[in-house]
Amino acid sequence: MRLRNMGFALAGFALVGFSTAALAEVSQGSIARGGKLYDKWYKVIGVEAPTVSHPLYPATNEKYAADPAANWRCKECHGWDGLGAAGAYATGSHASGIKGIEGAAGGDPAKVVELLRGGHLFGDKLSDQDLTDLANFVVYGQVDWSALVVDKKSTGDAANGQQVYETACVGCHGTDGKLPKDMPPLGSLTSNPWEVTHKVLNGQPGEAMPALRAIDHQVSADLVAYLATLPAQ
Ligand code: HEC
Ligand code: HEC
């Protein structure tokens, strides 16, 4: 199961000489925690957001260039899909023009740690464990979206997703996806299938929500397809 997941996750990146034995040794928990850090690292480690903008964020996007709590998040520069300027953030209010991280999939985690300590300036903000988890997410945890999202919609099987939802999610989110009350209804979020899939796979920063990382990515796609059928308000 585990090996099959990883093969699926990485299939799109045509990795040469990448042994499945190495994959088996990577902890899904580390990858999921890295995914949560990619989402909002300061929430995961329980510190205040930076108050000075990240120097790598381009001034051309005035809105987010003026918002350090946003522009220090990996997702703000590289996108929920990890494809940067070649993905969902190619245009629109979040466009940063920055390249994606997909080129680092299957690479050397130590090199990613080095990069994050260097020009990315995370050395004094994140611990060795945080940086390792992030690198594991970047190297082993990226999703091949081509199979899971087409025309901004999940390609999953909603009926199968319902079975999973009604066992794994309903206790916290309610039958109609309107719980907890301080959150937008789940049915209103699926116009961004990349973000929802990211949260289903990796969990929600700072919340007791499970990460389905160890389960086939197809199940996440099925869930997102089912969420799209729930009431949007
Ligand atoms: C303020 C914007 C910004 C933030 C925040 C940011 N990055 Fe980057 N990142 C960049 C830029 C700019 C590059 C260099 C792109 C280039 O070489 O053209 C880059 C490059 C990378 C690369 C190398 C991609 C490649 O194929 O060469 C990786 C991996 C990466 N970032 C991961 C991360 C991770 C993980 C985080 C969060 C901990 C993060 N980045 C946060 C701007 C950002
Ligand atoms: C133990 C409780 C719990 C379970 C089980 C759970 N979640 Fe969550 N989930 C939460 C909490 C708490 C939040 C954050 C709520 C907030 O931000 O106010 C959250 C947030 C989310 C978000 C992000 C919403 C946003 O605002 O971006 C999505 C998507 C989501 N959950 C989907 C799911 C799905 C799908 C499942 C089942 C696989 C699931 N959750 C299972 C507790 C749970």
Q: How far is the CA of 101 from the centre of ligand 1 (A)?
A: 7
| Rounded Cα gap, residues 29 and 203, in angstroms | 11
What are the structural domain ranges in the chain? 18-142, 146-227
Spell out the per-residue pLDDT of the chain, length 233, in tens: 344 444 444 444 433 334 444 555 789 999 999 999 999 999 999 999 999 999 999 999 999 999 999 999 999 999 999 999 999 999 999 999 999 999 999 999 999 999 999 999 999 999 999 999 999 999 999 999 998 999 999 999 999 999 999 999 999 999 999 999 999 999 999 999 999 999 999 999 999 999 999 888 899 999 999 999 999 99
Ligand 1 proximity of 112 Cβ (cutoff 6 Å): yes
Instruction: Output the residue whose Cα is nearest ligand 2's atom 38.
Output: 169
> What does the block give as tokens for 119?
């020009």
227 and 186 Cβ atoms separated by less than 8 Å: yes
| Rounded Cα gap, residues 159 and 165, in angstroms | 10
Q: How far is the CA of 230 from the centre of ligand 1 (A)?
A: 35
201 and 222 Cβ atoms separated by less than 8 Å: no
26 and 136 Cβ atoms separated by less than 8 Å: yes
Counting ligands in written order, the one closest to the CA of 201 is: 2
Q: Which superfamily does 146-227 belong to?
A: Cytochrome c-like domain (1.10.760.10)
Instruction: Output the residue whose Cα is nearest ligand 1's atom 40.
Output: 74
Q: How far is the CA of 196 from the centre of ligand 2 (A)?
A: 9
What are the respective helix, strand and coil percentages of the chain, to the nearest 5?
50, 5, 45
Residue found by looking up tokens 């999940």 in the block: 154
